[in-house]
Amino acid sequence: MGDFNVALVIVAAVVSVLVLLVSVYLLVNYQHPDDVNQAYFPKLVVVLGLTVAVLSILMLPADVANRQACSRAIYNGACSLTLPMRTLWLVVYIVDAVLVFLVIPFAMFYYEGDQDKSVGKRLRTALMWVVASAVVCGLVLGILYGLVGKVDFTVRHLSSSVETFPNSFSGFSSGQPCISSLPRVCAASTAPANSQTTWTMRATFPEYVVALATIVGSVLFTIFGGVGIACLPLGLIFSFVRRPKAVITRSQYIKEATELGKKARELKKAAEALHQEERSGNKGRKWRKNVKAVEKELLLLEDDMKALEEMYPQGEQAEATWAFTVLGYIGKLIFGVVGLVVSIAWVAHIVIYLLIDPPLSSFLNEVFIKLDGVWGLLGTAAFAFFCFYLLIAVIAGEMMLGLKLVFITIHPMKWGGTLMNSFLFNVGLILLCSISVIQFCATAFAYYAQATAAQEIFGHTLQSLRGIKYLYKYNVFQYGFVALAILTLFYYAIFGWRKRKPTGRFQLSN
């Protein structure tokens, strides 16, 4: 066992380094050309945020493996080299909260500051906003912790009289498991109703911070995750349905390109007018709405340009380019079908295991346990995949709602074209929702992840916090998640096959 525990620690260290390298790789390849060789502090925050987010998702499977390392220990020192998961959970999520509520906002304020100002003024402005936010958050956290930062555990008080130790154990059976001659006196089921009481204790402040961050993340997770669990696979499938069926002619290409050029000039004119309004100080509600609408139309215009390039590939390798385009859409169909199966499995598991009391079946928990029986890490790998899929669904839901609703700020992630403010926004969203994804997975797979440090923090302490526990007692987030998934399914069934039309919802003030 000791050798296995050492191996677990080594694997954790190696995986952490690999995650860091992958985060750097994503930053280098997604960053906008305008940010090359500059904006180093926002880039450092992005790499750190991505690393923490990915590691937090991987920590739950690591927690399960950590528990399994001690499951057959035959002496007390056998588990001395396993990971201190409870401490790691608290450290990771305190870092998560600091990044989301302090560091990332500071980096965004600094990056988006007026470029005409000096570095010192931009730093002071960003620091002023972050300090004000920190004071408000600190006061709210302190007041809430002082008033309701307690945990209410429902316990049953049991007691019995002293019995003489028997000389023989031959009389014990399933019908008579106790020392007492009276049948089943030692069973908790025979305890009177007045033996149940509430045991109240104060939660630690780090646990309370994690709990409140989880609540904020759970609201976003319910909205974005519920929409994303359906739109992620269906979006890929309907993208294949709406794919270009054949290469268009040159005359068709010229006609479509002319229309796109006309639309681009209109957007440029609208953007210049909005810039003039900004300089004149007219930055009201209508101005902000128009800015977001123009941003949305610009993104849709870029999508149209990409679609036009797909339908009319140019250059010496035009045929090869078209072949790769066709293969790409086939790949979307395959991943969409696989994703649809995973999404259906997720929703079915939530209904069967979480919403029906008592559960009809442990479903995916049993699947993971059986996979572990086939190969030690197979079930853990499948478990990690389902957790990651849920996080990807959250990002897909945010992108869909950002394009459909004007009042949500759009921060697209594009290969080789992502500005640092968009990077920081999406990393903050991933960090905030990753807490809720882990808590949701710890609840949904409670049978598989039992006796882990995550189960202790997210399964007992969090769900027993005063004032918060009722959200989990009545499965508010689970019902919202399933309801939004069903509504999104109906939306795609009705509108998903249609091709998008321009909205034209921005109107200039002048």
Report, as an integer, the average pLDDT of 212-219. 79
Measured CA angle at 385 (ends 379, 387), to 5 deg = 105
Report the pLDDT value the prediction gives residue 144, as an integer from 0 to 100.
77
Residue with tokens 């210049």: 272
Report the pLDDT value the prediction gives residue 334, as an integer from 0 to 100.
92
pLDDT at 212 over 50: yes
The whole-angstrom separation of Cα 457 and Cα 47 is: 27
Report the pLDDT value the prediction gives residue 141, as an integer from 0 to 100.
78
Q: Band of the pLDDT at 508, cuts 50, 70, 90? A: very low
What b-and-e string marks burial along 326-341, b requiring 16 or more CB atoms within 10 Å of the CB?
eeebeebbeebeebbe
pLDDT in tens, 309-328: 878 787 777 778 888 888 88
Q: Band of the pLDDT at 116, cuts 50, 70, 90? A: low
* Least confident among 266-270, 321-325, 413-417, 428-432: 413-417
Report the pLDDT value the prediction gives residue 190, as an integer from 0 to 100.
58
* Least confident among 222-236, 359-373, 462-476: 462-476
Q: Are 492 and 230 in contact (CB under 8 A)?
A: yes
- DSSP H helical ranges for 318-409: 318-349, 364-374, 378-404
Give 107-115's long-range contacts (Cβ < 8 A, gap of 24+): 107/41, 107/42, 107/45, 107/420, 107/424, 108/42, 108/421, 108/424, 108/425, 110/41, 110/42, 111/39, 111/42, 111/420, 111/421, 111/424, 112/421
pLDDT in tens, 392-413: 888 888 777 765 554 555 566 7
pLDDT at 507 over 70: no
Which residues make Cβ contacts (< 8 Å) with residue 312, sequence separation at least 6? 247, 248, 250, 252, 253
Report, as an integer, the average pLDDT of 125-135. 80
pLDDT at 506 over 80: no
Report the pLDDT value the prediction gives residue 195, as an integer from 0 to 100.
64
pLDDT at 1 over 50: no
pLDDT in tens, 6-25: 666 677 778 788 888 888 88
Q: Band of the pLDDT at 510, cuts 50, 70, 90? A: very low
Q: Band of the pLDDT at 341, cuts 50, 70, 90? A: very high
pLDDT at 370 over 60: yes
Residue 281 tokens read as: 């100080």
Q: Is 281 left (phi over 0), alpha (psi -120 to 50) or beta?
A: left
Q: Band of the pLDDT at 342, cuts 50, 70, 90? A: very high
The whole-angstrom separation of Cα 437 and Cα 453 is: 16
* Least confident among 26-30, 139-143, 226-230, 372-376: 372-376
Tell me the three-class secondary structure of 184-246, residue by residue: CCCCHHHCCHHHEEEEEEECCHHHHHHHHHHHHHHHHHHHHHHHHHHHHHHHHHHHHHCCCCC
DSSP codes of every residue in 448-466: TTTTSHHIIIIIIIGGGBT
Report, as an integer, the average pLDDT of 421-437. 81
Residue 61 tokens read as: 């499977």
Cα-Cα end-to-end distance for the chain: 75
* Least confident among 21-30, 35-44, 288-297, 462-471: 462-471
Q: Are 39 and 420 in contact (CB under 8 A)?
A: yes
Report, as an integer, the average pLDDT of 226-239. 88
Report the pLDDT value the prediction gives residue 68, as an integer from 0 to 100.
66
Q: What is the CA radius of gyration of the chain?
A: 28
Q: Are 12 and 62 in contact (CB under 8 A)?
A: yes
The whole-angstrom separation of Cα 37 and Cα 391 is: 30
pLDDT at 504 over 50: no
* Least confident among 264-268, 368-372, 465-469, 481-485: 465-469
Answer with the residue of higher pLDDT: 180 or 242. 242
Q: pLDDT over 70 for what percent of the chain? A: 76
pLDDT at 75 over 50: no
- At 31 the three-state DSSP class reads strand
The whole-angstrom separation of Cα 60 and Cα 55 is: 9
pLDDT in tens, 442-488: 888 877 777 666 666 665 666 677 777 777 778 888 899 999 999 98
The whole-angstrom separation of Cα 327 and Cα 246 is: 13
Give 249-252's long-range contacts (Cβ < 8 A, gap of 24+): 250/312, 252/312
Residue 56 tokens read as: 């937090």
What b-and-e string marks burial along 419-436, b requiring 16 or more CB atoms within 10 Å of the CB?
bbbbbbbbbbbbbbbbbb
Cis peptide before 358 (omega within 30 of 0): yes
- At 505 the three-state DSSP class reads coil
Report the pLDDT value the prediction gives residue 268, as an integer from 0 to 100.
85
The whole-angstrom separation of Cα 103 and Cα 141 is: 18
DSSP codes of every residue in 91-116: HHHHHHHHIIIIIHHHHHHHHTS-TT
pLDDT in tens, 152-197: 777 766 665 666 666 776 666 666 666 665 555 555 555 666 666 7
Report, as an integer, the average pLDDT of 57-62. 77
Report the pLDDT value the prediction gives residue 81, as an integer from 0 to 100.
55
* Number of Cβ atoms within 10 Å of the Cβ of 447: 15
The whole-angstrom separation of Cα 157 and Cα 196 is: 6
The whole-angstrom separation of Cα 34 and Cα 37 is: 9
What integer best gives the mean pLDDT of the chain? 76
- At 296 the three-state DSSP class reads helix
pLDDT at 247 over 70: yes
The whole-angstrom separation of Cα 71 and Cα 226 is: 36
